[in-house]
């Protein structure tokens, strides 16, 4: 996989030559201001649907294997 | 295990502490930051989720208008630069309580930029805390660790995850390095946190209950020999969730780091946590280059535009800030500095103000909320405002006293019945037949009876010894089931003795 | 009643006309399509899930509506449609062709699915794709290879090979795709179908499983230009659940397509993008392209050459932005909430972190892993400015190139793909050759402009060639007019639609 990555890396190195300091970056192609949502609640998903696809559950919660260290 | 600590007074003599606080405030919006899932305290696990807050494939975030307005309010209160254009970025890291495995936060373009907060210390000194930013982000879910001791992560065998909290809006207020605090660093941090708490409550943007996790802080501490030296290596103590915890964390870290540095040791740049039981911070993860959150602008959210007009509109709706309000009320109520501090420390300011508005005298209102009711709240382990009594009820009791319809003793009984949920003061007075017996014949008769039963006391009173007066009053009270007015009794006794 | 083979070869508009004339029912249409799916799937393998029962119920619901209720619905009401398995469908398994989502039944519908349901268009099932839409041949599906109906030894293109093959083979008259770098248009070119990538933000992405959020767009896959216009008007428009959705209704695309069918292009300026043809393009592809350009001229269009000098950086910018967003968007597949969970072997610590690692190792294919690694690298602290930051600047340059080009021309044209359909395995070991497939389609995604591919005839190898139109942002109707005109002119020159040349052994014996 490493050699394949190198090929792609070569292809994208050229980007840096074009990106001069005077060019503004574009994050979203269509210039929009964000739409703000009113603070009105909707009916949430029922717990059964929330948990339906979970690999492991207990007491209405998702089961995670042992967690080492807090963030 | 026990770490070497230097005496605090010695540590702050030898070193100059620099502190920094990153305070997370949970906003009290109706819905989450990026989806309209409802937010409530104590809901069944995993029942407050939409596809967005559960991080389902295909779901997209849409920003809650109220959360942005709340952030602007806080920004104004902290004298922040409100940026016309701000942006949300993704903070990428894997953790089981993160539904998307990235947090949506603000990185290089926060809504609120630089500002400051003036905090008042115990002795009235005002200290200016410089603010770096106050940005908007969403919270993660909650893990419950199972199989270890006391629900601690150490030794747990697995964890249960409730994502209800995932997506709840937070504002993270980041201070600049706070310099010049010296030995008062812990006090300044505590006063700052209380000031933030008071502000967000005044703005009505958060419940701001530390014990419920509405507010928590990461506490950074570093030491240097001299204020002209560059900053030392800092420790970061995560998620401290009480005012005292924050003060103690700083005290402890100053003592711990001073002991290490004094011996020529080096401080590790690490995250620690405050352990309430041992009153100490414990080492956690050493920060390394691997902690790269790969921030980039969230492509699902376009730029947030806050017009100066909108900021002006919000500015017009800003309530009076707590410090200004305290000063104003102190003058209006004619309280001393110490009295006012007691009121603030007891969290009784709002309650007293409301009670006074409803007709009570400031002194009367203070007497109830800081006396009888504070004791009751302490005994029950609840906040003053959580007691089953309203400012209206307290004001009513005060009015009944002023009208001479209750004496002190009956008033206390009335309040006790209100706390038990028996109704309004009027209803209780009516139901229990409380009546102050003052100048009627019954009282005259009761006094005579008491005097007749205690000839030795009568002798002493006649001889000018007033000490046994209490015995007569007590007897009259018993006879009238507490409805006698003590002043009236004394007056009648004196008349009878002289007569 | 019309024969099944005749019925399924109708365009969606023609099907809708027969529904309105009460010559057929929606159930007839769905049954006929399900028969074709049964017959074609052994050789084509376009579908991952066929939702026949539900489709028949939806058809009956439409058939039971009163005439006045039907009159309120969009023109294509009652006509069935297939959905790329990258789009979330409530109650129907949605996998993104990945093992990591195997068996996932979503509890919600994408906005486009809600709109199709509101239009009473039965959902035939979910079509195959490259895993998480990452690829240009559909060979990266974790489940199956889809064949090109024109030559079952060849790929149908990708990532939306399933939708394109389903429409091309008459399994479905309509389909939805998603296009991040050409995933609708390139399969359209390779299968002789019409594929449209709308303006970014023109169609809601809510419920489209994210690959690269700033590039992804849902769009129509059909056999005619008019069908695409009708479908895009149904699925398009503002959605308050998508912050990148344009706060306006769909453009008048149907009117533009109908106008185009009159084949009068006087006053239209067509820009030939210098950088998007010539070197690296198959001679047969070049020949069909230039013949088509001549036809545009013959219909009155003025053809000018335009230059977009920064397009040469687009492949590089794309292969920074796309994997960066992929690496973040695909983080959520961690074995916690849905989909696959693989615990570590016994001699490895049974921790959450290890579970996530083993789940992702087992659940993702090589191409997806390759892009996650690349994206993780491109976003890392020391490289962000040089990589992601630079790519975003290139995006600005490409948008500016388009702006300048659209000052000289109303619509831009190029071949859609440098080559016709290639054989299975031919480019699997050469990612760069695979990536070159999208060289002509990527600039439109980077700039958010609308683009579409229509069939331009067959190359020397007898395989379809695609012709690409590109229009300015939020002006999707501008490309529909010349596309419909060219389609009509080409069909007249061939004497029949392109699919009349397609051999369809799977349809033999279907008429009872």
- Chain segment C433-481, per-residue pLDDT in tens: 777 788 899 999 999 999 999 999 999 999 999 999 999 999 999 999 9
Task: Flag whether residue A6 sits within 8 Å of chain B, measured between CB atoms.
Answer: no
Answer for the pair C181, C438: CB distance below 8 angstroms, yes or no: yes
Residue among B208, B217, B163, B230 at smallest CA distance from B322: B208
Torsion of CA C204, C207, C213, C215, to 10 degrees: -50
Contact C324 B296 (CB under 8 A): yes
Q: How far is the C-alpha of B334 from the C-alpha of B340, rounded, in Å?
A: 9
The H-or-E segment that residue B419 falls in is helix B408-419
Comparing A6-20, C26-40, C46-60, the range with the smallest average pLDDT is A6-20
Inter-chain CB pairs, B–C, below 8 Å: 99
Q: How far is the C-alpha of C241 from the C-alpha of C236, rounded, in Å?
A: 13
| pLDDT exceeds 70 at position B153 | no
SS (H, E, C) C337-358: CCCCCCCCCCCCCCEHHHHHHH
- According to the model, what pLDDT value does residue B152 have? 64
Confidence of residue B475 (pLDDT cuts 50, 70, 90): confident
Q: Residues C491-505: what's their mean pLDDT?
A: 96
Residue among C52, C62, C55, C57 at smallest CA distance from C22: C62
Helix (H/G/I), strand (E/B), else coil: A48: helix
Q: How far is the C-alpha of C49 from the C-alpha of B482, rounded, in Å?
A: 84
Helix (H/G/I), strand (E/B), else coil: B442: helix
Does a structural domain hold residue C296? yes
| pLDDT exceeds 90 at position B156 | no
- According to the model, what pLDDT value does residue B270 have? 87
Tokens of C150: 């024109």
Does a structural domain hold residue C416? yes
Calculate the average pLDDT of chain B: 91
Residue C218 to residues C92, C133, C149, C298, Cα–Cα distance (Å): 19, 12, 23, 33
Handedness of CA B151, B153, B157, B161 (dihedral sign): positive
Answer for the pair B32, B51: CB distance below 8 angstroms, yes or no: no
- According to the model, what pLDDT value does residue C371 have? 94
| Higher per-residue pLDDT: C282 or B403 | C282
C159 catalytic, yes or no? yes
Tokens of C247: 């706060």
Comparing B377-381, B401-405, C37-41, the range with the smallest average pLDDT is B401-405
Region for residue B170 given its phi and psi (left: phi exceeds 0; alpha: psi -120 to 50; beta: otherwise):
beta
- Phi/psi for B219 (5° steps) reads -110, 120
Q: How far is the C-alpha of B164 from the C-alpha of B216, rounded, in Å?
A: 18
B270: β partners = B286
Mutate to test the interface with B, among C337, C338, C373, C387 (most CBs of B within 10 A): C337
- According to the model, what pLDDT value does residue C434 have? 75
- According to the model, what pLDDT value does residue B130 have? 98
The H-or-E segment that residue B137 falls in is strand B126-138
pLDDT tens, position by position, C310-361: 999 999 999 999 999 999 999 999 999 999 999 999 999 999 999 999 999 9
| pLDDT exceeds 50 at position C394 | yes
- According to the model, what pLDDT value does residue B51 have? 98
Q: How far is the C-alpha of C330 from the C-alpha of C187, rounded, in Å?
A: 24
Instruction: Write the DSSP string, B273-285.
Output: EEETTTTEEEEEE
Instruction: Write the DSSP string, A6-38.
Output: HHHHHHHHHHHHH--TTSPP-SSSS--PPP-B-
The percent of residues above 90 in pLDDT, for chain B, comes to 64
Instruction: Name the residue in chain B with its Cα closest to that of A30.
Output: B302
Q: How far is the C-alpha of B397 from the C-alpha of B418, rounded, in Å?
A: 10
Contact B143 A59 (CB under 8 A): no
Q: How far is the C-alpha of B407 from the C-alpha of B410, rounded, in Å?
A: 5
Comparing B285-289, B370-374, C192-196, C482-486, the range with the smallest average pLDDT is B285-289
| pLDDT exceeds 70 at position C2 | no
CATH assignment at residue C116 = 3.90.1300.10
Our CA angle for B35, B106, B129, nearest 5°, is 120
The β-bridge relationship of strands C47-50 and B102-105 is: unpaired
pLDDT tens, position by position, C110-164: 999 999 999 999 999 999 999 999 999 999 999 999 999 999 999 999 999 999 9
Task: Flag whether residue C376 sits within 8 Å of chain A, measured between CB atoms.
Answer: no
C123: β partners = C81
Q: How far is the C-alpha of B260 from the C-alpha of B444, rounded, in Å?
A: 78
- According to the model, what pLDDT value does residue B310 have? 97
Chain B neighbors of C87, CB-CB under 8 A = 58
Torsion of CA B453, B457, B458, B459, to 10 degrees: 130
Packing angle, helices A2-18 and C314-329, rounded to 10: 120
Packing angle, helices C225-235 and C253-260, rounded to 10: 170
Does a structural domain hold residue C223? yes
Please count the structural domains in chain C: 1
Does a structural domain hold residue C63? yes
Given the residues C84, C126, C427, C481, select the one marked as catalytic.
C84
ipTM: 0.96
Packing angle, helices C283-298 and C477-494, rounded to 10: 100
| pLDDT exceeds 50 at position A71 | no
Instruction: Name the residue in chain A with its Cα closest to that of B157.
Output: A66
Burial (CB count within 10 angstroms: exposed 0-12, middle 13-18, buried 19+), residue B413: middle
Answer for the pair B93, B293: CB distance below 8 angstroms, yes or no: yes
Confidence of residue B396 (pLDDT cuts 50, 70, 90): very high
- Return the partners of chain A (3 or more C-beta pairs < 8 Å): B, C
- Phi/psi for B484 (5° steps) reads -75, 150
- Phi/psi for B205 (5° steps) reads -115, -5
Q: Which residues of C touch B (CB under 8 A)?
A: 87-88, 94, 96, 101, 104, 106-108, 110, 205-210, 212-214, 240-244, 324-325, 327-328, 331-332, 334, 336-338, 352-353, 356, 376, 379-381, 384, 388
pLDDT tens, position by position, B296-319: 999 999 999 999 999 999 999 999
Q: Residues B48-60: what's their mean pLDDT?
A: 98
**DSSP alpha helices (H): ranges in C236-365?**
253-260, 283-298, 314-329, 352-363
- According to the model, what pLDDT value does residue C454 have? 98
| Higher per-residue pLDDT: C193 or B385 | C193
Q: How far is the C-alpha of A54 from the C-alpha of C341, rounded, in Å?
A: 9
pLDDT tens, position by position, B216-262: 999 999 999 999 999 999 999 998 989 999 999 999 999 999 999 99
- According to the model, what pLDDT value does residue B287 have? 64
Task: Flag whether residue C393 sits within 8 Å of chain A, measured between CB atoms.
Answer: yes
Does a structural domain hold residue C137? yes
Task: Flag whether residue A48 sits within 8 Å of chain B, measured between CB atoms.
Answer: no
Helix, strand, coil abundance in chain B, percent, nearest 5: 40, 20, 40
SS (H, E, C) C116-180: HHHCCCCEEEEECCCHHHCCCCCCCCCCCCCCECCECCECCCCCCHHHHHHHHCCCCCEEEEECC
Gap from A1 CA to chain B (nearest CA, Å): 22
Residue A71 to residues A67, B98, B140, B147, B250, Cα–Cα distance (Å): 10, 11, 11, 20, 21
Q: How far is the C-alpha of C88 from the C-alpha of C495, rounded, in Å?
A: 40
The percent of residues above 90 in pLDDT, for chain C, comes to 92
Residue that the structure tokens 């806080």 belong to: B74
pTM (global) more than 0.80:
yes
Instruction: Name the residue in chain A with its Cα closest to that of B284.
Output: A69
Burial (CB count within 10 angstroms: exposed 0-12, middle 13-18, buried 19+), residue B430: exposed
Instruction: Name the residue in chain C with its Cα closest to that of A12.
Output: C316
Chain C neighbors of B100, CB-CB under 8 A = 331-332
For residue C101, the enclosing domain spans 4-311+396-507
Answer for the pair B411, B397: CB distance below 8 angstroms, yes or no: yes
Does a structural domain hold residue C316? no
C423 catalytic, yes or no? no
Q: How far is the C-alpha of B106 from the C-alpha of B90, rounded, in Å?
A: 8
Does a structural domain hold residue C42? yes
- According to the model, what pLDDT value does residue B459 have? 84
- Return the partners of chain B (3 or more C-beta pairs < 8 Å): A, C
Domains of chain B, first to last: 8-312 (no CATH), 320-432 (no CATH), 441-498 (1.10.10.410)
Residue among B319, B320, B321, B397 at smallest CA distance from B355: B397
Gap from B238 CA to chain A (nearest CA, Å): 9
Residue C178 to residues C144, C185, C196, C218, C414, Cα–Cα distance (Å): 19, 10, 9, 4, 21
- According to the model, what pLDDT value does residue B1 have? 46
The percent of residues above 90 in pLDDT, for chain A, comes to 52
Answer for the pair C314, A28: CB distance below 8 angstroms, yes or no: no
| Higher per-residue pLDDT: B70 or C386 | B70
Does a structural domain hold residue C384? no
Cα C397 versus chain centre, distance? 26
């Amino acid at each position: 996989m490493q050699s394949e990555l190198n090929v792609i890396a070569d292809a994208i190195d050229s980007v840096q030559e074009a990106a001069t300091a005077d060019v503004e970056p574009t994050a979203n192609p269509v210039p929009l201001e964000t739409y703000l949502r009113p603070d009105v609640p909707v009916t949430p998903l029922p717990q059964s649907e929330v948990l339906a696809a979970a690999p492991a559950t207990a007491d209405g919660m998702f089961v995670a294997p042992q967690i080492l260290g807090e963030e | 295990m026990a770490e070497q600590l230097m005496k605090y007074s010695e540590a702050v003599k030898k070193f100059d502490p620099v502190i920094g606080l990153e305070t997370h405030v949970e906003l009290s919006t109706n819905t989450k930051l990026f989806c309209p899932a409802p937010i409530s305290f104590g809901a069944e696990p995993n029942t407050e989720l939409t596809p967005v807050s559960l991080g389902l494939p295909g779901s997209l975030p849409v920003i809650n208008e109220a959360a942005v307005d709340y952030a602007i309010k806080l920004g104004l209160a902290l004298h922040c630069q409100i940026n016309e254009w701000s942006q949300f970025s993704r903070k990428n890291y894997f953790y089981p309580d993160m539904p998307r495995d990235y947090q949506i936060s603000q990185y290089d373009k926060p809504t609120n930029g630089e500002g400051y907060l003036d905090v008042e210390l115990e002795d009235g000194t005002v200290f200016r805390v410089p603010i770096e930013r106050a940005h908007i982000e969403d919270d993660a879910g909650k893990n419950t660790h199972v199989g270890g001791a006391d629900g601690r992560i150490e030794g747990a065998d697995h964890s249960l995850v409730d994502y209800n909290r995932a997506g709840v809006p937070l504002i993270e207020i980041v201070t600049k390095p706070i310099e010049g605090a010296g030995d008062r660093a812990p006090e300044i941090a505590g006063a700052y946190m209380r000031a933030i708490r008071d502000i967000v409550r005044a703005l009505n943007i958060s419940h701001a209950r530390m014990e419920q996790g509405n507010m928590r802080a990461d506490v950074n501490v570093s030491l240097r020999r001299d204020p002209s030296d560059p900053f030392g290596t800092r420790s970061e103590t995560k998620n401290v969730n009480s005012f005292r915890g924050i003060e103690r964390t700083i005290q402890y870290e100053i003592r711990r780091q001073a002991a290490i540095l004094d011996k020529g040791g080096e401080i590790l740049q690490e995250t620690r946590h405050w352990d309430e039981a041992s009153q100490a911070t414990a080492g956690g993860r050493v920060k390394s280059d691997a902690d790269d959150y790969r921030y980039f602008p969230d492509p699902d959210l376009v730029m947030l535009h806050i017009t100066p007009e909108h900021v002006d509109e919000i500015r017009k709706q800003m309530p009076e800030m707590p410090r200004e309000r305290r000063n104003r009320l102190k003058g209006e109520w004619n309280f001393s500095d110490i009295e006012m501090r007691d009121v603030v420390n007891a969290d009784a300011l709002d309650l007293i103000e409301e009670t006074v508005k409803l007709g009570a005298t400031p002194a009367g209102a203070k007497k109830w909320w800081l006396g009888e009711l504070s004791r009751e709240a302490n005994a029950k382990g609840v906040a003053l405002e959580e007691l089953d009594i309203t400012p209206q009820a307290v004001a009513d009791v005060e009015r009944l006293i002023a009208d001479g319809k209750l004496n002190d003793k009956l008033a206390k009984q009335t309040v006790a019945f209100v706390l038990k949920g028996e109704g309004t003061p009027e209803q209780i007075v009516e139901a229990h037949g409380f009546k102050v017996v003052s100048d009627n014949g019954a009282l005259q008769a009761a006094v005579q009876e008491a005097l007749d039963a205690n000839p030795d006391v009568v002798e002493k009173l006649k001889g000018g010894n007033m000490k046994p007066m209490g015995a007569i009053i007590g007897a009259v009270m018993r006879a009238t089931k507490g409805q006698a007015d003590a002043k009236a009794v004394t007056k009648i006794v004196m008349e009878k003795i002289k007569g | 009643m019309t024969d099944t083979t005749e019925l399924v070869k109708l365009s969606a508009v023609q099907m809708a006309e027969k529904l309105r004339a009460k010559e057929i029912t929606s159930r007839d249409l769905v049954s006929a399509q399900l028969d074709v799916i049964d017959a074609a799937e052994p050789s084509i393998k376009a579908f991952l899930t066929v939702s026949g029962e539900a489709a028949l119920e939806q058809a009956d619901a439409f058939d039971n509506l009163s005439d006045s209720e039907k009159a309120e619905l969009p023109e294509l009401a009652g006509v069935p449609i297939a959905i790329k398995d990258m789009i979330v469908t409530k109650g129907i398994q949605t996998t993104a062709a990945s093992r990591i989502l195997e068996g996932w039944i979503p509890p919600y519908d994408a906005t486009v699915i809600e709109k199709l349901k509101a239009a009473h268009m039965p959902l035939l099932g979910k079509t195959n794709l490259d895993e998480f839409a990452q690829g240009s041949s559909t060979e990266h599906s974790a489940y199956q290879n889809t064949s090109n109906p024109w030559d079952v030894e060849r790929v149908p293109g990708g990532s939306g090979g399933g939708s394109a093959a389903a429409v091309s083979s008459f399994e479905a008259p309509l389909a939805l795709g998603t296009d991040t770098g050409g995933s609708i248009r390139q399969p359209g070119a390779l299968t002789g179908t019409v594929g449209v990538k709308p303006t970014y933000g023109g169609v809601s992405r809510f419920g489209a499983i994210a690959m690269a959020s700033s590039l992804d767009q849902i769009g129509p896959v059909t056999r005619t230009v008019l069908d695409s216009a009708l479908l895009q008007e149904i699925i398009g428009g503002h959605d308050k659940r998508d912050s990148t959705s344009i706060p306006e209704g769909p453009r008048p695309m149907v009117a533009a397509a109908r106008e185009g069918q009159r084949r009068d292009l006087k006053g239209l300026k067509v820009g030939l993008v210098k950088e998007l043809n010539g070197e690296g393009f198959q001679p047969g592809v070049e020949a069909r392209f230039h013949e088509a350009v001549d036809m545009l001229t013959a219909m009155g269009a003025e053809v000018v050459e335009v230059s977009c000098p920064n397009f040469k950086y687009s492949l590089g910018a794309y292969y920074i932005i796309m994997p960066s967003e992929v690496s973040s968007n695909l983080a959520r597949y961690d074995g916690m909430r849905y989909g696959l969970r693989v615990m570590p072997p016994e001699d490895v610590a049974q921790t959450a972190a290890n579970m996530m690692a083993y789940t992702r190792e087992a659940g993702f294919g090589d191409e997806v892993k390759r892009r996650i690694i690349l994206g993780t690298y491109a976003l890392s602290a020391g490289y962000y400015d040089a990589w992601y930051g630079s790519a975003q600047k290139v995006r600005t340059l490409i948008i500016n190139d388009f702006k300048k080009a659209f000052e000289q021309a109303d619509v831009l044209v190029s071949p859609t793909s440098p080559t016709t359909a290639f054989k299975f395995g031919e480019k699997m070991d050469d990612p760069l050759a695979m990536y070159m497939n999208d060289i002509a389609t990527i600039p439109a995604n980077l700039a958010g402009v609308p683009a579409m591919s229509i069939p331009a005839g067959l190359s020397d190898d007898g395989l379809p060639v695609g012709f690409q139109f590109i229009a300015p942002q939020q002006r999707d109707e501008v490309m529909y007019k010349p596309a419909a005109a060219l389609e009509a002119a080409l069909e007249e020159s061939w004497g029949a639609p392109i699919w009349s040349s397609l051999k369809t052994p799977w349809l033999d014996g279907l008429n009872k």
